Chain A
Amino acid sequence: MAAVRTSSEVALNRAAIVAVLVATLIFLAPIYWIASTAFKPKELAVSVPPTVLFQPEVTPFIRLFTKRVQMQKPVDPQVYEAAPWWEKRIYDGGERVLKVGKDVQLSQYPNRFMNSLIVAVISTVLAVGMGTFTAYGFSRFKVAGEADLLFFILSTRMLPPVVVAIPMFLMYRMVGLNDSHIGLIILYVAFNLSFSVWLMKGFMDEIPKEYEEAALVDGYTRMQAFFKIVLPEAATGIAATAVFCFITAWNEYAFALIMTNRRAQTAPPFIPSQIGSGLPDWTTIAAGTFLFLLPVAIFTFLLRNHLLRGVTFGAIRK
């Protein structure tokens, strides 16, 4: 590598930076759109041309979390004065918050959000855990028909999962798994497992087996060697696999829509279902979507170092 860059190299480098910036803008545009809509006053959400500069407000989030009804006549000024600031925002929109006695009635959003968290977290832990063990087995032991078995595991991804939605729905209803957390968890683990096994197999193969052998002669059982040596070494792979599994489970829409409707409904089918009730309130939907983006963004952000190392794993020969 020459220490002094030629002018063409500099130009190329600048062009690359510009290209990356443009790509970043394109990818971030929808996120910006959702985020800005979530903080817009209701009437600006659908303005043409789109409003870029506006006074941000949190009213969409208040609407998102409360049950409201349209008011027939203006609110009593005394009641308005006595109301807390967030309730005033609702009155301002010509609505009132539903209450039972003094207690504000929450919308279904928090509940759906929790459902999403429960289903995504548990199914991710299970898929990654089972995938890690399975991959370890394939990687370290002679398994009869290993190639066929691995192909068979992968073959579960060879058609769009939604193709089997109707039979799955009928079977789930028969065994009482529809609209249950456990039902969705089983489904998501089933999708993610093949992916998890294959990804983890690659990571396991990269971990030299001398590490475990060293642990074996150092006086440990294979199980202890697995937990003390292999798992820490596989952390990067586990993190990368977990992010992908979590994103898949978190964003899954079709099965959640078909299999659940109340108790176990997750956020993805719930958010658009809000469009149907009355005039579409885009700011509230955007607020719901914006909050829905956060867990994945945070999870990915926390694991970003692992993830970067994870996706480039094995690309560089040490």
Chain B
Amino acid sequence: MTQIELRGIEKFFGAVQVIHNLNLAIADNEFIVLLGQSGCGKTTTLRAIAGLETIDQGDILIDGKAVQHLKAADRDIAMVFQSFSLYPHMTVFENIAFPLRATRMDSGEVDKSVREVARVLRITELLGKKPSALSGGDMQRVAIGRALVRRPKAMLMDEPIGALDAKLREEMRAEIKRLHIKQGSTTIYVTHDQIEAMSLADRIVIMHEGFIQQVGTPDEVYSHPANLFVAQFVGSPVMNITEASVAEAASLATVTVGDAPAGFEFPSALLSKLNGHAANGGLTLGIRPEGVLVRREAAPGYLPVEAHIIEPLGSFDIVDLKVGSKMLRARTKAGYVAGPGEKVHVRIDPEQAHFFDTASGKSLGVRL
């Protein structure tokens, strides 16, 4: 049972503020992912929780107890580093046993605990080896084993699989998920990889320049991005973001992308939901490529456009479509659009459209 709460955390490196008034409550057994680009403050936050970094302001509470003045050793938290940080002069067994040796546990107990963890991680046959003899994936299994063996209050993981190659990353991602389901412990996981975040997290915390941008389940941050940063950061291929204007036409609303000659048809309810925001301009439309619908033949509500660049990605293609002077990227079935220059017809799915205030970047919360 471990809850972690961060209250009003501020952190400066010299004159540069790297964390701004950060507040976050993490529930017991929750898998939280801190997601952001490098330098966004996610690793600093993690290190502050671990006790490897001091904070200038605020409280870090573990199970309701402020720990910001405690040494790392006294917080009962385990951490897995991107570099694995296995002690090179010790065997795998000694590496995993190392945290237990700090507790003066008797050696029979140590042996039992290490073997149990090794069994769970399927690394029993590696116990006698030195880290230098291990593959990257096995090194990380050992590092996770070293973190698990002590049954810490919480697990912190700093880009634990970032140094592995793509295939192994996928494998370890599944492994970490399996372990979390099986062992269950409050986990804070730092990554810059949104796919990792989406696949692992109970809740994702998206950070940018030291500020939390949004906290939510993977579905929430994907379907309801709070602002332009989150909209563009989460999801691959990246969401289309473009200036747009809204007008009333017959019983419809039309959304015009940039300076395109014609607008896309939207239900008229859009106008009332935008509540006058359309009139004063400064409106940004966000639409994921799968919300850009493409047909070869003309149909009501579809605008004729020209295909520009086609990126085949195996199971689907990403097609750049020229709408006025703007490009909209659409996701189509593989090979649906034959080649560049082909004339196709395009529509925006109103239900998948997001609207943002251009100036503040904030979502207007308008969904149809």
Chain A residues with CB under 8 Å of chain B are: 208, 210-211, 213-221, 224, 229, 232-233, 235
Contact = CB atoms under 8 A, between A and B. Distances in A.
15 contacts: A211-B85, A213-B50, A213-B79, A215-B87, A215-B98, A216-B51, A216-B52, A216-B71, A217-B75, A217-B77, A218-B150, A219-B73, A219-B150, A229-B87, A235-B89
A206 B134 CA distance: 21
Contacts of B88: 233
Contacts of B366: none
Contacts of A216: 51-52, 71-73
B83 A218 contact: no
B229 interface: no
Nearest to A215: B98
Contacts of B331: none
B87 A213 contact: no
A210 B103 contact: no
Given A210-B81, A213-B52, A214-B79, A221 B73 contact: yes
B71 A221 contact: yes
Given A210-B83, A214-B79, A219 B89 contact: no
Q: Which of B77, B102, B146 has the most CB of A within 10 A?
A: B102
Contact of A219 (B52, B83, B87, B103): B103
Q: Which of A215, A217, A218, A235 has the most CB of B within 10 A?
A: A217
Interface string B60-96: 0000000000011101011101010101110000000
A221 B74 CA distance: 9
A220 B71 CA distance: 10
Nearest to B152: A217
Given A214-B81, A215-B98, 13 more contacts: A208-B83, A213-B72, A213-B81, A214-B79, A216-B52, A216-B72, A217-B52, A218-B99, A218-B150, A219-B99, A219-B150, A221-B73, A233-B88
Nearest to A211: B85
Q: Which of A213, A218, A221 has the most CB of B within 10 A?
A: A218
B102 A217 contact: no
Nearest to A210: B85
A218 B52 contact: no
A221 B146 CA distance: 17
Contacts of B75: 217
Interface of B: 50-52, 71-73, 75, 77-79, 81, 83, 85, 87-89, 98-99, 102-103, 146, 150, 156
B99 to A, nearest CB: 4
Q: Which of B50, B71, B73, B88 has the most CB of A within 10 A?
A: B73
A218 B78 contact: yes
B74 to A, nearest CB: 8
Contacts of B150: 218-219
Contacts of A220: 73, 102
A218 B99 CA distance: 5
Contacts of A213: 50, 52, 72, 79, 81, 85
A216 B103 CA distance: 13
Contacts of A215: 87, 98
A219 B87 CA distance: 15
B78 A217 contact: yes
Nearest to B80: A214
Contacts of A232: 87, 89
A211 B87 CA distance: 7
A143 to B, nearest CB: 16
Nearest to A235: B89
B34 to A, nearest CB: 17
A217 B85 CA distance: 12
A233 B132 CA distance: 13
Given A211-B87, A213-B81, A218 B71 contact: no
B11 to A, nearest CB: 16
A269 to B, nearest CB: 42
B155 to A, nearest CB: 10
A216 B99 CA distance: 9
A190 to B, nearest CB: 32
A221 B83 CA distance: 21
B89 A233 contact: yes
A210 B73 CA distance: 14
Q: Which of A213, A220, A221 has the most CB of B within 10 A?
A: A213
A217 B52 CA distance: 8
A211 B89 CA distance: 11
Contacts of B156: 217
Contacts of A208: 83, 85
Contact of B72 (A210, A217, A224, A233): A217
Nearest first, the 8 closest Cβ-Cβ pairs linking A and B are A219-B102, A218-B99, A210-B85, A214-B85, A216-B72, A232-B89, A217-B79, A219-B73
Q: Which of B50, B72, B87, B156 has the most CB of A within 10 A?
A: B72
Given A208-B83, A210-B81, A210-B83, A217 B89 contact: no
A221 B51 CA distance: 12
A211 B81 CA distance: 9
Contacts of B102: 218-220, 224
A105 to B, nearest CB: 50
A80 B77 CA distance: 82
Q: Which of B50, B98, B156 has the most CB of A within 10 A?
A: B98
A217 B77 CA distance: 7
Contacts of B52: 213, 216-217
Nearest to A221: B73
Contacts of B81: 210, 213-214
A217 B73 contact: yes
A182 B146 CA distance: 47
Contacts of A221: 71, 73
Q: Which of A211, A219, A224, A232 has the most CB of B within 10 A?
A: A219
